[in-house]
Structure 1
Amino acid sequence: MRPALRAPSRASCRNLLRTLAIPGLALLAAGAAQARPLDEVVASGTLRVALYGDNAPFSEERGGKPRGIDVDLARAIAEKLGLRLDLRIVDAGENVDGDLRLNLWKGDLAGSPLADLMLHVPHDRMLATRNEQIFLTTPYFDQHLALAYRKGKVEDLRAVGDIAGHLVAVEGTSASDLQLLMAEGGRYRDALRHFRDFDAAARAYLAGETAILAGTRAGIEAALRAGGASPEENPVVEIAMPGLVKAQWELGGAVRTDSRDLAYAVGDAITALTAEGRLKAICETYGVGFTAPKGY
């Protein structure tokens, strides 16, 4: 869904929205690329992992180096499997289906080696059904749409009606934007202040230009941490809003369908990292709270 201070969950939101899109009919003309089952990955000694760029706090390049929750998780998974990590930072395409095709099973026109694993994939039953060439791993993160508000400007924020009379900073065309635009028949449209990306929306909120910030909980929490904002003075809340937009989804990994043994091994690694508290610690490094997902 494109279902993000740097755009915390921009790719998360975009990815969620993009899972609803039917992929275009055009396919890349690259020759057939081969998946690598677990034994071949282990024999090579290297795990190739694709992550989205410009997707803080999950994955981004800063100072020429990758950082974020997904980056640290990829390293931890490779470590659990006893492998070196070959990290690929990739751009988000028009829809998740195309991203999976390009990075996991079809490849690009140049014939670049495919990734063995892609992280930050919505753990969505319809997505899995629509893309029979891929297989989803155990999910690792529970993502939610949320709102932050500044105490002193907003008395309380428990229901959508409490937005009335306050400005909301939101990334344009994001899941949060669509959710708020549709709320109560468009009643709060005039309250929305749209920004090119979540970074800009977060900066506007932190500068006091709006009383409310909309985005994913992970994105908002990371932005508040990065901006030095007090969590007590800037509570993060989740409000039920009837409508077509999913307010909660889980993130996981994906492999090519004939590499299911690799998916099971990655799933075991994720389960172990969760049980050990390492995944929670990774999230906390970026100011993000962690709740283990349940899976569909």
Structure 2
Amino acid sequence: MPVVTLIVALIAGLLTATVTEARTLDQIKASGTLIAATEGAYPPFNFYQGAKLTGFEVELAEAMAKKMGLKIEWKALSFDALLAGLGQDRWDMVIASFGVTEDRAKAVSFTNPHYCSGGVIVSKSAAMKDAASLAGKTVAVQTGSTYMANVKKIAGVKEVKNFPQDTDARSALVAGRVDAWVSDRFAVKTMLENNPALGLKAGGYLFVEPIATAVKKDNTALIGALNKALADVMADGTYKTLSEKYLKEDIRCK
């Protein structure tokens, strides 16, 4: 076999060997462990408290896994890498406050939403409260978020600056490097309650969206099991308890 042909064959063999498929529900149950990914930098939904990963979504996922008779193995990494890793079968599910959009639904499958929220404007001025007030302004958002996509659609915005983490976008506003920051209503609510000295003010919704867990495209058995587990924790009071613990209200979709 010619050297070039041999090299091509070896490369093809290596690529084939590394191709994997999403684990089926039966395989997950057989292992006893659900591999879940989140960001770990988005309080109060998923964040680190010292070395411990916690938050509303973390505890909710663990309660759902318990209903399924499973333990969770957590993976935490940057927000914009989460869905890509799901497509590469590096984990079974992603729960990280992903808004359900048509584009995302083409690449992954979503469970029923575990809460509904939307993007709100945060600034140092009470007058900056709607899309029209962002004309001529520089706005901070998180990379890969629906907030970035929606702010870019607003006519008249001077510049959209994106940051790896939502907290980085907030810091840019606090430091005066941008005029406004757009983020999730509940993340903003918690931040304002915990940091009143910053003097930041929240405006109105720019858009509203359902938030859901993502799994590999068309992994229907896993979707069904997660939906049942979510319904169970909503029915037995677990969801309400966790929601009020982290958000001081029940945030399920009405």
Whether 2:203 is the aligned partner of 1:217: answer: no
Question: Does the 8 Å CA contact 2:119/2:208 hold for their aligned counterparts?
Answer: yes
Question: Does the 8 Å CA contact 1:170/1:176 hold for their aligned counterparts?
Answer: no
Change (3 A) 1:271 1:161: same
Paired residues for 1:92-107 under 5 Å: 92-93=79-80, 96=83, 98-102=84-88, 104=89, 107=90
Change (3 A) 1:208 1:89: closer
- Cα distance in 2 for partners of 1:253, 1:92 equals 13
- Cα distance in 1 for partners of 2:167, 2:73 equals 28
- Cα distance in 1 for partners of 2:163, 2:34 equals 37
Partner of 2:235: 275
Whether 2:57 is the aligned partner of 1:83: answer: no
- Cα distance in 1 for partners of 2:93, 2:161 equals 37
Partner of 2:19: 31
Shift of 1:170: 2.3
SS in 1 for 2:170: helix
Question: Does the 8 Å CA contact 1:273/1:279 hold for their aligned counterparts?
Answer: yes
1:142 partner letter: C
Partner of 2:10: none
Q: TM-score, normalised by structure 2?
A: 0.70
Shift of 1:248: 3.0
Listed one character per residue, the Cα deviations across residues 215-245 of structure 1 (whole Å, up to 9, x for unaligned) are: 22132122213324699x9455214xxxxxx
Partner of 2:6: none
Whether 2:204 is the aligned partner of 1:237: answer: yes
- Cα distance in 1 for partners of 2:113, 2:135 equals 36
Question: Does the 8 Å CA contact 1:37/1:261 hold for their aligned counterparts?
Answer: yes
- Cα distance in 2 for partners of 1:221, 1:144 equals 12
1:141 partner letter: Y
1:74 partner letter: A
Whether 2:141 is the aligned partner of 1:171: answer: yes
2:117 partner letter: Q
Change (3 A) 1:101 1:189: same
Shift of 1:71: 1.0
Which blocks of at least 5 consecutive residues in structure 1 are unaligned? 1-26, 108-114, 240-246
Greater C-alpha Rg = 2
Question: Does the 8 Å CA contact 1:217/1:236 hold for their aligned counterparts?
Answer: no
SS in 2 for 1:76: helix
Partner of 1:183: 154
Shift of 1:255: 3.3
Paired residues for 1:87-166 under 5 Å: 87-93=74-80, 96=83, 98-102=84-88, 104=89, 107=90, 115-120=91-96, 121-128=98-105, 130-131=106-107, 135-148=109-122, 153-154=125-126, 157=129, 159-162=130-133
Which blocks of at least 5 consecutive residues in structure 2 are unaligned? 1-14
- Cα distance in 1 for partners of 2:227, 2:221 equals 10
Aligned-CA RMSD value: 3.9
Q: Whose strand proportion is higher, 1 or 2?
A: 2
Shift of 1:123: 3.0
SS in 1 for 2:113: coil
Whether 2:253 is the aligned partner of 1:285: answer: no
Change (3 A) 1:211 1:229: farther
- Cα distance in 2 for partners of 1:258, 1:183 equals 33
Question: Does the 8 Å CA contact 2:42/2:166 hold for their aligned counterparts?
Answer: no
Q: Percent identity?
A: 22
Change (3 A) 1:161 1:83: closer
> Which runs of at least 4 in structure 1 moved beyond 6 Å after TM superposition?
192-196, 207-211
- Cα distance in 1 for partners of 2:147, 2:19 equals 39
Change (3 A) 1:276 1:235: farther
- Cα distance in 2 for partners of 1:168, 1:257 equals 36
Question: Does the 8 Å CA contact 2:78/2:164 hold for their aligned counterparts?
Answer: no
2:31 partner letter: S
Aligned length: 238
Change (3 A) 1:288 1:178: farther
